[in-house]
Chains A and B, each alone.
Chain A
Amino acid sequence: MNHSDDTTRILISKQAAQRVAATINRRRFLALGGGAAALAALAACGSSSSSNTNASQNSGGTEPKKFAKNLNMFTWAEYDDPDLLKSWGNISLTIFNSNEEAIQKLVQGGGSSGFDMVVPTGVYIPQLAKAGMLAELDKTRIPNFSNLDPAYANQTWDPGNKYSVCKNWGTTGWIYDTTIVKTEIKTWADFIKVAQTEASGKTSVIDTPPNLAGIYFWANGIDWTTEKTEDLDACAKFMVNEFAQHIKAFDSYPGVNLTTGSYALSQVWNGDARQGLLSVKEAKDDPSRYKWGIGTPVTELWMDNWCILKSAKNVDAAYDFINFILDPANSVKDLNFHGYNTGIKGVDALAADIDFKDMVFFDDAQVATMRSGAVNSAQEKIVKIYSDVKAKAGG
């Protein structure tokens, strides 16, 4: 007999063979299963040990003023200077693409989302507050709140800054590649015309429902907070039948795609356009190839805000961070990164020598053309328009 062969050979009857084979298979299955379970246990150890360190750091703060500088933040992409965040402490960022998505995830997660802070756009704050998601702010714990320009405090959607503090505000316009788009785009109507012709199939739009519908309303002199059925139906008809097929992508951050040459024309937020031009400059390309324009005759005005969630675990850290970011020296660093006006008194003087300054700070005439959006009875229809345009563009 060949003993080097490690196969076990058994001489038994046919019926017994089945039983033995089944037992052996079961053993092998258990051995395999045991291995898998051990792996899973290892993985669990890995994660639990890291959470343990967090917990011990937190529980270390038994004295009143001591706390771990840990924060879990739910926010937009490319929105915070990583170096600045690191200089404060340890912040983990989770990204959302639209307010609707953020609200859905927070509400569905209930109190267990695990986030300490969220950065919603102002007009969505009442909905979040109504859902019981936001903690009321104790302004005595934010001494730097006084640094905020009063023009950006006490907004209609959050009187007395009960739930929120301005992070920054911005507007919407377009950016196009002048080597492809020869027509000069001056208004939203031009934007639509170019998207349908020269830049057809090479146009990107911002991936949120109000911004998409806004293109039509701004171009046609309709208030974009309209609740009139005929306005909304006209918008749906036009966007689905005459605009959808020209869209290449729904991209909230076309700025990062500027250097890849993906789009000829993009609807874009001012800060993202500026980040795109900065990256073009960094790649030693000529930024003058691209032309940025602020939307006319009217365009969007939005304000994103720091909010603390009711379910926050690191409340002390959250207050400390908000106070930290409202310090003009920190605020200007943040501004230089994301390219939006932070609304801190005197921040424009501190940011005097930044690149593309005209894309961050706007004169009074420009600000006068900007309109705040609204979350009203039209929201459902606006989202429907957005869904239909998306389905049409892909179908």
Chain B
Amino acid sequence: MAATLGAQPRQQRTWLRAPKFLLAIPSFVWYVFLFVVPVCLVIVNSFGRKVTGSPGKVDLSSPSLDRYHEVVSGSFASLLKQTMFTSILGTVLCLLISLPVAYLLAFKVGPKAKTAVLALLMVPFFANFLLRTLAWRIVLQPRGFVSNFLQSGHWFTFGQALRSGPIQILDTRTAVQIAIVYNYLPLMIFPLWVALDRVELHLREASKDLGANRIRTFLQVTLPLAGPGIVAGLILVFVPLSGDYVTAALLGGAKGNMIGAEVANQYFKAQDAASGSAIAVSLIISILLVLGVLATCFWFISKLLKANRAVAVVAR
């Protein structure tokens, strides 16, 4: 055994070993050509202007910030603001709903129940995203079963207000908000669950042994340790949500429109790639701004939690 191993010349093996970055090449190529290059093109195009009569072409002979000026001054600014509001509210709702679910999954349910709950969370993914969103049209339509049930009278007194007429939720911002939370919820639950699951039981036990109550343990041990997972969940939900336009296109009507639809609109209807690019870049900037604010908030919160620690950790 030892002899055969020794027979292999060590020098040659090192030479044969592939460089470490080799495995990264496929994803590197993929990202550069299908992400970095197109995004750069979009950024470049946003400084040009539309060529009348030839759809999709951009005139870059006199680059200017005119398209951005149009975005800021036109009706797009308010639409962008609305989109950001919808996305932030949607992300916060996702977090508030997911946190208890992930907590239960990680700490409170047995292994069998855990598998069952995880399976139930996965089941909706067997149906296509578009189909799941379209299904909300059936649920929310004014003459749909929910509306009919609410009006039928077999309902509690607090349904009185709803009974006055068919529910008018479809084709509004509310419909988009409901469906968006529904569509992105699993993207929040899974990272949160994984993060909480990693918080080892003995750390929480130690916290209790040292005299912290449940709330204190949650705030000062569990939550900080799960912090990276929460951040991942927030980003995973917020970023695609801001650019989502399928949900808005299917359920939003005129009122629930989102900025992503306007990008598509500029490219496909207005045949104006320059304006479409400028709106897209504005969206990216808005997302980065919100994420920047979020990062500052987290930094502040972690400072606050550390400052309120009952036990000081002294480094030796």
Give a binary string over A260-298; 1 marks a CB under 8 Å from any B CB, 0 the rest.
111000000000000000000000000000000000000
Question: Which of A105, A108, A251, A395 is most buried by chain B, counting CB atoms within 10 A of its CB?
Answer: A395
Q: How many whole Å from A390's CB to the nearest CB in chain B? A: 6
Neighbour of B76 across the interface among A26, A103, A201, A391, CB < 8 A? A391
In the complex, chain A residues whose CB is within 8 Å of the CB of B76: 391, 395
Contact B266 A387 (CB under 8 A): yes
User: In this assembly, does B254 line the interface, its C-beta being within 8 Å of a C-beta of chain A?
Assistant: yes
Contact A100 B270 (CB under 8 A): yes
Among listed A48-56, A157-165, A364-372, A378-386, interface-contacting one: A378-386
User: In this assembly, does A107 line the interface, its C-beta being within 8 Å of a C-beta of chain B?
Assistant: yes
Contact B171 A249 (CB under 8 A): yes
Contact A100 B269 (CB under 8 A): yes
Give a binary string over B250-266; 1 marks a CB under 8 Å from any A CB, 0 the rest.
00111111100110011
User: In this assembly, does B224 line the interface, its C-beta being within 8 Å of a C-beta of chain A?
Assistant: no
In the complex, chain A residues whose CB is within 8 Å of the CB of B282: none
Given contacts A100-B271, A209-B269, A394 and B254 within 8 Å (CB-CB) = yes
Neighbour of B256 across the interface among A98, A104, A386, A394, CB < 8 A? A394
User: In this assembly, does A181 line the interface, its C-beta being within 8 Å of a C-beta of chain B?
Assistant: no
Contact A391 B257 (CB under 8 A): yes
Neighbour of B270 across the interface among A247, A261, A384, CB < 8 A? A384
User: In this assembly, does B110 line the interface, its C-beta being within 8 Å of a C-beta of chain A?
Assistant: no
Q: How many whole Å from B179's CB to the nearest CB in chain A? A: 15
B residues 257-305 touching A (CB-CB < 8 Å): 257-258, 261-262, 265-272
User: In this assembly, does B141 line the interface, its C-beta being within 8 Å of a C-beta of chain A?
Assistant: yes
Neighbour of B142 across the interface among A29, A103, A107, A260, CB < 8 A? A260
A residues 226-267 touching B (CB-CB < 8 Å): 240, 244, 247-251, 259-262
Contact A101 B268 (CB under 8 A): yes
User: In this assembly, does A392 line the interface, its C-beta being within 8 Å of a C-beta of chain B?
Assistant: yes
In the complex, chain A residues whose CB is within 8 Å of the CB of B75: 240, 388, 391-392, 395
User: In this assembly, does A219 line the interface, its C-beta being within 8 Å of a C-beta of chain B?
Assistant: no
In the complex, chain A residues whose CB is within 8 Å of the CB of B108: none
Contact B56 A386 (CB under 8 A): no
In the complex, chain B residues whose CB is within 8 Å of the CB of A392: 75, 78
Given contacts A260-B144, A395-B75, A101 and B257 within 8 Å (CB-CB) = no
Q: How far is the CA of A29 from the CA of B143 in the complex (A)?
A: 51
User: In this assembly, does B55 line the interface, its C-beta being within 8 Å of a C-beta of chain A?
Assistant: yes
Q: How many whole Å from B270's CB to the nearest CB in chain A? A: 5
Q: How far is the CA of A202 from the CA of B171 in the complex (A)?
A: 10
Q: How many whole Å from B22's CB to the nearest CB in chain A? A: 11
Given contacts A103-B55, A384-B270, A394-B256, A262 and B142 within 8 Å (CB-CB) = yes
Contact A260 B252 (CB under 8 A): no
Q: How many whole Å from B13's CB to the nearest CB in chain A? A: 14
Contact B52 A387 (CB under 8 A): no
In the complex, chain A residues whose CB is within 8 Å of the CB of B144: 260
Contact A383 B142 (CB under 8 A): no
Q: How far is the CA of A209 from the CA of B170 in the complex (A)?
A: 24
User: In this assembly, does B92 line the interface, its C-beta being within 8 Å of a C-beta of chain A?
Assistant: no
A residues 1-36 touching B (CB-CB < 8 Å): 26, 29
Neighbour of A260 across the interface among B52, B141, B265, CB < 8 A? B141
Q: How far is the CA of A31 from the CA of B142 in the complex (A)?
A: 51
Neighbour of A393 across the interface among B74, B137, B255, B266, CB < 8 A? B255
* Nearest neighbor of A105 in chain B, beta-carbon distance: B268
Contact A104 B74 (CB under 8 A): no
Neighbour of B262 across the interface among A26, A250, A390, CB < 8 A? A390
A residues 92-121 touching B (CB-CB < 8 Å): 98, 100-101, 103-105, 107-108
Contact A262 B55 (CB under 8 A): no
Given contacts A390-B265, A395-B79, A262 and B170 within 8 Å (CB-CB) = yes
User: In this assembly, does B166 line the interface, its C-beta being within 8 Å of a C-beta of chain A?
Assistant: yes
Neighbour of B254 across the interface among A26, A240, A259, A390, CB < 8 A? A390
Question: Which of B144, B266, B268 is most buried by chain A, counting CB atoms within 10 A of its CB?
Answer: B268
User: In this assembly, does B82 line the interface, its C-beta being within 8 Å of a C-beta of chain A?
Assistant: yes
Q: How far is the CA of A304 from the CA of B253 in the complex (A)?
A: 26
Q: How far is the CA of A296 from the CA of B270 in the complex (A)?
A: 28
Q: How far is the CA of A130 from the CA of B168 in the complex (A)?
A: 46
Contact A248 B255 (CB under 8 A): yes
Contact B56 A104 (CB under 8 A): yes
Q: How far is the CA of A143 from the CA of B76 in the complex (A)?
A: 52
In the complex, chain B residues whose CB is within 8 Å of the CB of A101: 268-269
Contact A387 B270 (CB under 8 A): yes
Given contacts A209-B269, A262-B141, A262-B142, A391 and B79 within 8 Å (CB-CB) = yes
Contact A261 B79 (CB under 8 A): no
Q: How far is the CA of A131 from the CA of B57 in the complex (A)?
A: 13
Q: How many whole Å from A87's CB to the nearest CB in chain B? A: 29
* Nearest neighbor of A246 in chain B, beta-carbon distance: B254
Given contacts A383-B269, A391-B79, A394-B257, A248 and B56 within 8 Å (CB-CB) = no
Contact A248 B142 (CB under 8 A): no
Contact B56 A394 (CB under 8 A): no
In the complex, chain A residues whose CB is within 8 Å of the CB of B272: 383
In the complex, chain B residues whose CB is within 8 Å of the CB of A29: 23
Q: How far is the CA of A221 from the CA of B248 in the complex (A)?
A: 35
In the complex, chain B residues whose CB is within 8 Å of the CB of A251: 253
Contact B171 A248 (CB under 8 A): yes
* Nearest neighbor of A207 in chain B, beta-carbon distance: B269
In the complex, chain B residues whose CB is within 8 Å of the CB of A26: 23
Q: How many whole Å from A155's CB to the nearest CB in chain B? A: 21
Q: How many whole Å from A108's CB to the nearest CB in chain B? A: 5
- A-B contacts, 17 listed (Cβ < 8 Å): A29-B23, A100-B269, A104-B271, A107-B56, A248-B255, A259-B143, A260-B144, A261-B142, A262-B141, A380-B52, A383-B270, A387-B265, A387-B266, A387-B269, A390-B262, A391-B257, A394-B255
* Partner-B contacts on A (CB < 8 A): 26, 29, 98, 100-101, 103-105, 107-108, 127, 131, 201-202, 204, 209, 240, 244, 247-251, 259-262, 380, 383-384, 386-388, 390-395
